[in-house]
Amino acid sequence: MQINMQLKISQLLSFFFFFFFSFVLLLHPYLAETTNEHEEEEVRRSQFPDGFLFGTSTSAYQIEGAYLEDGKSLNNWDVFTHIPGNIKNNDNGDIADDHYHQFLEDIELMQSLGVNAYRFSISWSRILPRGRFGEVNTRGITFYNNLIDNLLLRGIEPFLTIHHNDIPQELEDRYGSWLSPLMQEDFVYFAEICFKSFGHKIKYWTTLNEPNLFADMAYIRGRYPPGHCSPPFGNCSSGNSDVEPLVAMHNMILAHAKAVKLYRQNFQSKQGGLISIVANAMMYEAFRENEDDRKAVSRALAFQVAWMLDPIVYGDYPPEMRHYLGSTLPRFSQEEISIVKESIDLIAINHYTTLYAKDCINSACIPGSDRPVKGFVYTTGERDGVLIGDPTANPDFFVVPRGMEKLINYVKERYNNMPMIVTENGFAPAPQQKQQDQQDLLQDSERINFHRSYLAALAKAIRITEMELMFVGILCGA
């Protein structure tokens, strides 16, 4: 029975990307293994601020299943994954981890790990099957209230993400979802339903998860729904990879800001919560130690991290993007600037890996990297035949603990030491490294080592920079 339960822990959140947070730090004081910097460092709970939370992180589509039960409608991922060839092995989330039916058991497993926070997202199509064009699905509201109530009963703080990539398919069919400003109105309507339904129990909100990554994957590479792209990035049936991601991102930022304005005006004082938006945030190092590649690192960070954070902190896109994209990059009106600027209570970032950045202005690069929309930067995890860190299941993710410390420092300096939370961080073993027997699977040593080293780097960043890394801490995906 114990083995089966432990296997369930390992399998529970594994659909597509997400895994439970390793409980290393919470249960035992371990000695961190040698990192890439050849340092040994002990990681203890006392190295983190009082009230620092350690938790798990998931998204609705990746775990819930029950894709057409209790009034839920088709969402964009339901449609996209059922098109043959879009997903490896034609997998889909129809059942996933069956969290919709097994959430009570899942909460028990979370409690057994010792975590004290859980970040999850709301399925838009489970709450509003037709967006603002239809009725609220009360059965969906009931499910999430039951989830939240049982989390609180077990002493686990719920972190609610309003939107994690999945939208009612009707909004895509009606007006092209995030390519239309109409989507802002739909999102604010959805957010208001969530504030009214769950806000008296939720103290930590994020509006959208990784809009910068979604804009890239959905509208540059065409790997997320609606699957838009253009050469040289891909050969989708529709799309413009040089323009559409900028438009979609603009609408997502404005949707976030308008939802935050609504929350602050009508709910925050009564409910007492904090609200933010989550940025996908890789770290970068120069491919070669020359000025061109060092500038490429700055551009890579601006075109990924600052693309999202600069507007919501300072009210406009990074100057690096304005310089290279010119009039292609949308502009905020003066009224929009007043709404967008300072539209977060804390900075939230997802960090998994570090890559090398190579300049493509003065050097030849592969097609795509030499485009303004990518900042004229080529990124890679390999230099002179040597990987930047140990490989993982994602070919673009490598184990580079020092990147955590460097990224925290970058965000601290660029945004004047705002309170910060790491909302995702995690590991999945590379295919050739996957354990073959049950005992190896239960030991899960590679994931334990990953979290050891990244937590050591995080603790070091807190200690050296004396930064305000919030009283919330690290939530984990993979």
CA 165 to CA 161: how far, in whole Å? 11
The amino acid that residue 94 corresponds to is D
d(C-alpha 111, C-alpha 107), whole Å: 6
Catalytically annotated residue among 170, 320, 336, 424? 424
Structure tokens at 93: 């989330």
Q: How far apart are CA 78 and CA 58, in angstroms?
A: 17
Hey, what amino acid is at 5?
Answer: M
Q: What are phi and psi of 26, to 5 degrees?
A: -75, -30
Contacts of 265 (CB under 8 A, 6+ apart): none
- Rounded distance between C-alpha atoms, residue 140 and residue 100, angstroms: 10
Beta pairing class for 382-383 and 157-163: unpaired
> What tokens appear for 287 in the block?
């491919």
210 part of the active site = yes
CB contact at 8 A, 388 and 381 = yes
Burial class (CB in 10 A: 0-12, 13-18, 19+), 322: middle
Distance CA 147, CA 142 (A): 9
Three-point CA angle 274, 257, 178, nearest 5°: 125
Beta strands in 24-144 (DSSP E): 30-31, 42-43, 54-57, 117-121
Q: How many residues does the chain have?
A: 478
Residue 382, strand partner residues: 387
Q: Which amino acid is residue 28, in one-letter code?
A: H
Q: What is the DSSP letter of 474?
A: E
Catalytic residue among 210, 320, 336, 405: 210
Number of H helices, E strands in the chain: 19, 17
Active-site amino acid positions: 210, 424
